[in-house]
């Protein structure tokens, strides 16, 4: 059987297969061997399948994280985001090692802003002075949050690798007006691990929409951060645990991925004591 792997940079997970003579189409998708990984999380530990998991890293781009970016240029202290950038890099490395897809989800608006609604534009230009999305008001001089610009590129400390996926977004949520949902369904994943910035805004909005679409969600609390007051991050973590899914630390995710086993292995039993810092 051929799965048409040569047609895409990633091994296609959602393709029909064909007999060698080409006369029969087999609607079975390529096999994804099930694996199991026990993840220490809150409000409870979870067992997930790395073969059906993806890591989504939100908005780790220059305009939000770099000292010459747009956010720093309007007086925001972006240094508070640095630990989350470093931990996101660790989470990404662990995901790649475990053959878990990595998706970089960044603002990358059309230069003509043809699909940008006024409410979203207002968030970044509240006085209507033209200094928001698409302007060159950032210290870098690059057009703010615009596709293919320096401000939309990944910030120092994280980097893409062959096989990673990139999705431009145009709202706080990465699901509206983007191919994110289609990509995830073609990856045949059902569990999403979130990291990035800002935790109380774009990370949270995307996570909530993912839950509403039926995905299982896990937030990396230490690989997510915000320039908002600290209570905004705390409230987000509370709401994720209370209403939407689970939270964990980068170290616990890495431990779980490193010890992932085939489904035939017996999962551990019994309760787990959780750390308050998660």
Residue 273 has pLDDT above 60, yes or no: no
Average pLDDT over residues 135-160: 96
pLDDT at 4: 47
> Pairing mode, if any, of strands 165-169 and 191-197?
unpaired
Average pLDDT over residues 187-191: 97
Rounded to whole angstroms, how far apart are CA atoms 252 and 247?
A: 10
Residue 245 has pLDDT above 60, yes or no: yes
> Pairing mode, if any, of strands 191-197 and 53-58?
parallel
Question: Which residues are marked as active site?
Answer: 59, 169, 202
5: number of Cβ within 10 Å: 12
- Give me the phi and psi of 77, to 5 degrees please: -80, 100
User: What is the model's pTM?
Assistant: 0.91
Residue 248 has pLDDT above 60, yes or no: yes
């Amino acid at each position: 059987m051929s799965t048409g792997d040569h047609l895409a940079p990633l091994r296609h997970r959602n393709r029909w297969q064909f007999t060698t003579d080409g006369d029969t189409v087999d609607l079975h998708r390529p096999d994804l061997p099930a694996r199991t990984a026990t993840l220490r999380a809150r409000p409870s530990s979870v067992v997930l399948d790395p073969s059906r998991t993806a890591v989504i890293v939100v908005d780790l781009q220059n305009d939000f994280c770099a000292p010459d970016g747009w956010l720093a240029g309007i007086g925001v202290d972006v240094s508070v985001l640095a630990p989350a950038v470093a931990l996101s890099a660790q989470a990404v490395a662990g995901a790649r090692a475990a053959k878990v897809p990595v998706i970089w989800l960044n603002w990358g608006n059309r230069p003509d802003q043809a699909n940008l609604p006024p409410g979203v534009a207002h968030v970044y230009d509240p006085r209507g002075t033209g200094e928001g999305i698409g302007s060159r008001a950032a210290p870098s001089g690059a057009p703010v949050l615009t596709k293919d610009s320096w401000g939309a590129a990944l910030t120092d400390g994280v980097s893409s690798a062959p096989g990673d996926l990139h999705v431009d977004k145009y709202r706080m949520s990465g699901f509206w007006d983007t191919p994110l949902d289609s990509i995830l369904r073609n990856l045949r994943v059902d569990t999403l691990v979130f990291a990035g910035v800002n935790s109380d805004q774009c990370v949270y909005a995307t996570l909530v929409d993912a839950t509403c679409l039926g995905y299982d969600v896990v937030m990396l609390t230490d690989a997510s951060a915000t320039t908002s007051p600290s209570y905004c991050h705390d409230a987000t973590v509370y709401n994720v645990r209370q209403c939407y899914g689970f939270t964990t630390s980068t170290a616990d995710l890495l431990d779980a991925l490193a010890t992932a086993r085939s489904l035939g292995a017996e999962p551990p039993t019994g309760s787990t004591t959780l750390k308050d810092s998660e």
